[in-house]
Structures are given as C-alpha cells and as structure tokens.
Amino acid sequence: MFIRYCASLSMAYIRTQLAIGGLTLNLPSQERDDLMKIAMDSIGDLFARDEHNRFHQLIRYFEPRLKFVENSGGEALSALRRLVVASTKQTLVNELRKSDPTNWKIYRNLTGVCERDSNVAMFERGNSSYYYLRKSSGETIPDDLHPEREQIPFEEGLRLLDLQSSKQLNTPKIVKLFLTNLESLDSYCFFISKSRLYNLLRRNLGMLETEIVDIVQFQAESIHNGEINEADLQNFAQHIVHFLKGEIDSRFIITDKVNQTESSAYLSIMSQYFSDLIMDGFSGKLPAYRDDTYLSKLSDEDWKLHRGRLEYLVKLGKAELKRLAVEKNLISEQLIVGSS
C-alpha cells in the first residue's frame, strides 16, 4: 500500500507536468496504466535494498528528519511528497537525456544559468521554479515582480525570443536578455516558470539546423554515458583558459606585440568563447565577444589585427581541448573540431 501511495504521488506530479507543459517526453500515452508504470519506475530506486536488506535510500532521507516527522503526520507526508517529486523529476530528466539529447542539452544549460550569470536568479513556488532578473539584495520575492499579473503567454514569449535573435547568443545571455525585455512589458509578471522558458527555448533553438561539430558530440555522448558531468565540463573550460593565458603571455606579452590591457581583453574573449563552446555546445562569432572589452573601442581596421590573433588562439585552444579529450578517452583521435 505504501509503495502504491508513493506511486500515486508521482503520477499526480507527472499529470501536472503534462498539463502545464513541463518536460516533453516521448510518453506512450496519457492513459492511467501508462502513467502509473512511469510513476512506479520513477520511485523504484527509493525502495532499493542494501546488503543488509534495508531501504537505504529512505533511511538516508528520513533519518536526519526524524525529530520533525515523528511528531507530525502532516510534516511526514510533506517530506515524503518532496522525496517522491524529487525522484520523479530526476527520472523524467534522465528519460529526456536518453530519448532526446538535443532538448536535454537545452534543459541542462537552462538549469545552469543562475550559476553562470549572477544577475539571473530563481525562486520556488509550489512544485515550480521561476526565473527572474535580480536587482538588489533588498528585493521581496516575488512581491516586487508583479505576481498579480499573468505569466507571459507562450506565443508572446516566443515572439520576444525571436526579436532578440536568440540563436546567436549563449543560454545565460538569452535568459538575461529575455527577462530584461520582459520587464519592459506592462501586462505580464516579471518572472517566468522554468517549464515555460524551457519550452520556449526548445521551440526557438531546437528547430534550428546547426552544424553539429564533434565537440558537441563529445559533450553530449560523454554526459549520456556518465563519463563526465557538469563539473568536469567546467574544469575543461578552466583548463583551456589557463592554457591560453600561457600562450598569450609567451607569444604576445613577452614579445611586446600587445600590452596588458589588450592581453586582458584577449583572455576575457577566449574565456567566454570556450565557456560557450564547452558548456553550451556552440559559440558565437568572435566579434560578438569583444563588446564588453577594450577592443570594442577599436576601428574595424585596427580590429582586424587583433581578430587574426584571436582566431589563432581559438585554433590553439581547440587543439588543446581535443588533446585533453583524447587523453581522457572521451573521444577518438579522429576528432575534428568545427571552425570559429
């Protein structure tokens, strides 16, 4: 009975996600039997037993909470519901990763936005997460974000994404610009649910035909096989930046080809370029990265010299990334990384 009750909690969450347009999965149908099967699969790991025949997952979760749940049936049910929902979310996300790697990448990149841009923040309400643009530490969330207004409709949100040419930006910039533009509208609240934003990005970016370079395949396949995770990708990006700093120092600083201001701009551009390439699977063109650096002040003629050097650094960085991936047995020697 207890397992069936947990499954009913899981199925209720799945039904809610289907109703509000949450994660889109290749579900067989929305019939009760099919949803119950998915729900049972979602909670299966919670009832796994260890070598001592104990439900170790349940023990690990409830043991630190015993003093709260023992004296309150309501708290016990709330804690159980949170556990079941978390397990179901993870199952749905894993299913998306296996069945649809392209949309999984969109979802994964969206999940990491707040870590990559401190201006974008998130709050929880009920079972949903919402993104908003952080203004100051003294904000009252969500009261200062016009919660009395409706959330931006899907088609209007899609129009907003289309207007900002999202396909030329990385995910954190897309979200930040979207939220900035959202605050210019008087009819809608200044936040958006993660599920709606994901579906907007899926429609806006997922239909784009891009040149899928091998670096994207290395990223998606390696995560799919459990060989590397988000932290590993961050480490790859940091390694490349450290490597390129050495190249900039040895090739341009020591030889007096650039000054410290220019070398800082080079490193800033390379850092953002390879962060986008590794974390998002694609990067913009080099001119798009100079806007926030000293190089944005240069004439087109002066920019050409620096661009040539930056293109050379991109080539060196991609070669080092290839070497690193081959060294870790994540890709074969035949990797050919796309052009900048």
Strands (E), the chain: 120-125, 128-133, 191-193
d(CA 82, CA 239): 38
Binned at pLDDT 50, 70 and 90, residue 29 comes out as very low
More confident residue, 318 or 137: 318
Query: Taking the domains of the chain in order of start, what are their residue ranges?
Result: 2-99, 108-206, 214-327
User: CB neighbours of 249 closer than 8 A, spacing ≥ 6?
Assistant: 263
Share of the chain above pLDDT 90, in %: 16
d(CA 279, CA 234): 7
- Each residue of 144-179: pLDDT tens digit? 899 999 999 988 998 888 877 655 567 888 899 999
In this prediction, residue 206 carries a pLDDT of: 56
Binned at pLDDT 50, 70 and 90, residue 105 comes out as confident
Q: Kindly list the strands in the beta sheet with 120-125, ordered across the sheet, starting from the edge strand earlier in the chain.
A: 120-125, 128-133, 191-193
Q: What is the pTM of this model?
A: 0.46
- Each residue of 246-273: pLDDT tens digit? 999 988 888 888 899 999 999 989 988 8
pLDDT reading at 61 higher than 90: no
